[in-house]
Amino acid sequence: MKNPEGTINDILGRGVLAEFLPSKKEFKDALMSGKKLRFYMGFDPTAKSLHLGHAQGLLILEDFRKLGHEVIFLIGDFTGMIGDPSDKSSARVKQTPEQVRENFALWKDQVKSIVDFDNKNNPFQIKYNSEWLGKLNFAEVLELASNFTVQQMLERDMFEKRMKEERPIYIHEFMYPLMQGYDSVAMDVDVELCGTDQIFNALAGRTLMQKLKNKNKLVIATKLIADEKTGMLMSKSNGTGVFLNLDPNGLFGAIMSQPDGMLRPLFLGCTRINLKEIEELMSLENPRDAKLKLAHEIVRMFHGLEEAEKAKNYFIRTISNKEMPSEVAEISVQKDEIKLVEFIVQAGFAKSNGEARRKIEQSGVEVNEKKESNWQRMLTKEDDGSVVKVGKFSFAKIKFAK
């Protein structure tokens, strides 16, 4: 085992790890002991893409893997069909097994550049909790449930809130912390990494490990990525979500769109630039210069240096200098006319006609550099070769079949 104290201090001192249970000292002592520890972090595949918040946790796991520890990327394919009630004011819609498999299919490809799945000696492991949770019978579930009380479950903030608002709490939601806790037992882990919003669930695992294996599992929790000026969390609903399925130009642009208060949290959590350089970047007179460095570094990590350079140049030309990109993807249309909303969906710039309509109504769509406000507009062969721009970064040229 590698246990260089300097490297360990760098990981612990970066400021991304916010909670250590039972204590930071106990965790550091375990790291310095020379023992190979088994870490894991769980993800429920309830969306088609991971985001930078997930990347933050995976990068920390990779740091510990490089030190020689065993790390597990746990896919909650079983728990994902139930839905974690953490920070939810209402029950989450259940996922079908098909949806879970669909969502996970793209994840490995999205993060393969930041974690080493193929290392011959100590690969970044993938496990699925359906392997053990799907095999438990009802008697075994009842036995596990006997380790907790209803009062303990009701201590969760989101359940308290729902009770005050007279919103329903379903029995299966009580089972979620129990199942996540059993993940630790089934994998016999030493350390669980989670976000601060998952500490309750992680401690359920600590309880089960103590009772069933007489073992003290450590829990370490990362800060959620939040604007250090406003406290607003990075999320799609806040307009600040940055998803890993974006192409290089889209990823670069999404990072450049982040508020200045997101700069330091993203530098710390989603890059491995050292602390001294981060502080130098944060002290630059124009935050845009630091943001360009941040966007370039994150795109480099996920797509490589060449793509990062192209994305930076594309951003400066297209967004800063308001020039049309030199290369615009052509979208072929096999009929004589098409609704603008349908074309936007076909180009991949919206998931539905309704979403495309909202983008038009919110003045987010241009045709040949002119704002388009009519969501009912038809594109005909007279529009052949026209360029449709959606948002700041997405361009497509319409090409009608002859």
In the chain, the domains with their CATH numbers are 5-222 (3.40.50.620), 248-320 (1.10.240.10), 330-400 (3.10.290.10)
Closest C-alpha to 24, from 34, 13, 33: 13
The pLDDT value given to residue 1: 57
Distance CA(314)–CA(326), nearest Å, equals 9
3-state SS record for the chain: CCCCHHHHHHHHHCCCEEEEECCHHHHHHHHHCCCCCEEEEEECCCCCCCEHHHHHHHHHHHHHHHCCCEEEEEECCCHHHCCCCCCCCCCCCCCCHHHHHHHHHCHHHHHCCCCCCCCCCCCCEEEECHHHHCCCCHHHHHHHHCCCCHHHHHCCHHHHHHHHCCCCCCHHHHHHHHHHHHHHHHHCCCEEEEEHHHHHHHHHHHHHHHHHHCCCCEEEEECCCECCCCCCECCCCCCCCCECCCCHHHHHHHHHCCCHHHHHHHHHHHCCCCHHHHHHHHCCCCHHHHHHHHHHHHHHHHHCHHHHHHHHHHHHHHHHCCCCCCCCCEEEECCCEEEHHHHHHHCCCCCCHHHHHHHHHCCCEEECCEECCCCCCEEEHHHCCCEEEECCCEEEEEEECC
Residue 382 pLDDT: 86
Give the model confidence (pLDDT) of 60-101 as tens digits. Answer: 999 999 999 999 999 988 887 665 555 444 445 566 777 777
342: closest CA among 371, 370, 378? Answer: 378
Task: Supply the pLDDT for residue 326.
Answer: 63
Dihedrals phi, psi of 24, to nearest 5 degrees: -65, -35
Look at phi and psi of residue 348 and say left if phi exceeds 0, alpha if psi is from -120 to 50, else beta.
Answer: left
207-251, pLDDT tens digit by residue? Answer: 999 999 999 999 999 999 999 999 988 876 566 679 999 889 889
- pLDDT on residue 97: 72
316-319, Cβ contacts within 8 angstroms, sequence gap of 24 or more: 318/393, 318/395, 319/253, 319/256, 319/392, 319/393
Burial class (CB in 10 A: 0-12, 13-18, 19+), 317: middle
Q: What tens-digit pLDDT sequence spans the chain (402 residues)?
A: 556 889 999 999 999 999 999 999 999 999 999 899 999 999 987 778 889 999 999 999 999 999 999 999 999 888 876 655 554 444 455 667 777 777 777 898 999 999 999 999 999 999 999 999 999 999 999 999 999 888 888 877 778 788 888 888 888 888 888 999 999 999 999 999 999 989 989 999 999 999 999 999 999 999 999 999 999 888 765 666 799 998 898 899 889 989 999 999 999 999 999 999 999 999 998 999 999 999 999 999 999 999 999 999 988 887 766 666 666 778 888 888 899 999 998 888 887 898 899 999 988 899 988 899 899 999 998 888 888 988 877 888 899 887
pLDDT at 91: 47
Q: What's the gap between Cα 116 and its chain centre?
A: 18
Length of the chain: 402
Tokens 């709490």 belong to residue: 169
